[in-house]
Amino acid sequence: EHLVMIAREERAALRTFLRALRLLPIELEWRATVWATRPLAAPATLGRVLRERVRFLDAGQMSEAEALHSAGAVALASEGIRTTPGTLLRALAARAVPVASRLPAYEELLAEGRRGLVFEPGDAQTLAAQLERLLREPELGERLRESADALRASLQWPRVADELEEVYADLVGRRHDGRADTAARRRLAGRPLIDVDLHMHTDHSYDCATPVEVLLAEARERGLGAIAITDHNEVSGALEARAKSDGVQVIVGEEVKTADQGEVIGLFIEQKIPRGMSLQETIAEIKRQGGLVYVPHPFDRLHSVPDYEHLLSVLGDIDAIEVFNPRVAIPEFNDEAVRFAAKYRIPAGAGSDAHVPQGLGSVRIRMRDFDGPEEFLESLRDADIVRNPASLLYVQALKFLQTKALPPAARRASRERRVRRATGHGGRRNS
């Protein structure tokens, strides 16, 4: 009987295997192979009897597949530091009997002992006893192999290839059509480039104290050509800004809280969308108004966001996705959004999510000037994201001071002073 260990687990696993081999009765006929990706020398403490029966091979001498197909039993002795369930699956596919430590990653594949034998992690004595059972009872090994037949059939390459094709067909079916709108592209070709911030708030949001006038003045000073005002569950601030705007294009938006599936932004809308509807109902209302569905901070677990499953269910209705938000504290959440947008060919947007003027334009999109949602979306396809992130701690502290730290009367007085400065009626404006 040929016993094999694939040395991909931690080194302690090999020590457990070798200790178990020392405990096997000498009169039993067996040989063992330790296979490793790189040359692996036999331990100096290996006795003469084991040296005669155990060989150490690397990938240059034999492939892993050859080692597994020659095996009667394959030992997996990890103590949980570096489990290799892939090795166990390959052993089953090769009709070898796995003898594995009792770890969740292995037990699930062994179907509670119906496809192989187990032992407690680090217990060389029980590992030796299980190997001895297989050596003395060939019919036990055959029963275990037969129990794995159904799983083995599912691991054959034709079936795996079919499943892989199904996965990719589903992915391709979900991807957006990335082809350009040639008519819109021609109209945009001669337009100037402008900087756009697609996510910000005014004092019409419950958690922001920035007056509309101050926001507009700050946008002009920072060279923004267009802004999307996306107050929480409200469009009144955006409508007011559009009416008062001078030199900055204002996209009317709303960041809507759904019932239990996070937030979604409607861009180019005119009417307030009530909070508390399902994600699908909210999207339907955005579409009814002729707006665009824009998903903010989609994978930021510190915000209220739709989970991956819910995003997939509405993928065809998403027009754009926010791939960079400087208020996202963990950069990997933004990175995940970048990958999601690329995977499904969804136009990528970005916005400061500013709740204080100092955060405005900390990230901006450089894109061709546009007129309406159709041109906006086409321009967004070729846009560049320019990042200049303000300190999150700094802008969060300012937000707290402006919305929480001052008593109501002081906040009102502060607001009036800021509006006077922004509109030129209060002397020199402080940036």
Sorted by where each begins, the domain ranges of the chain are: 2-155, 184-422
pTM of the model: 0.57
pLDDT exceeds 60 at position 50: yes
pLDDT digits (tens, 9 = 90+) for 136-189: 999 999 999 999 998 888 777 777 777 788 877 777 777 777 777 888 889 999
pLDDT exceeds 50 at position 279: yes
Distance CA 204, CA 190 (A): 36
CA angle 258, 259, 265 (to 5 degrees): 0
Sign, CA torsion 376/379/380/386: negative
pLDDT at residue number 392: 43
Are residues 255 and 228 in contact, defined by beta-carbon separation less than 8 angstroms? no
CA angle 106, 112, 113 (to 5 degrees): 90
62 or 44, which is more confident: 62
What is the second-level CATH architecture of the domain 184-422?
Answer: Alpha-Beta Barrel (3.20)
pLDDT at residue number 353: 94
What dotted CATH number matches 2-155?
Answer: 3.40.50.2000
Q: What is the mean pLDDT of residues 205-227?
A: 95
Provide the edge-to-edge strand list for the sheet that holds 193-197.
348-350, 320-324, 292-295, 263-267, 249-257, 226-232, 193-197, 363-368, 384-387
CA angle 159, 165, 169 (to 5 degrees): 150
Phi and psi at 322, nearest 5°, equal -80, 115
pLDDT exceeds 80 at position 418: no
> 201 to each of 3, 303, 351, 430, how far by Cα in Å?
67, 16, 11, 20
Instruction: For residue 256, name the pLDDT band (cuts at 50, 70, 90).
Output: very high
Residue at 312: amino acid letter: L
Percent pLDDT > 70 in the chain is: 90
Distance CA 124, CA 335 (A): 45
Distance CA 354, CA 87 (A): 50
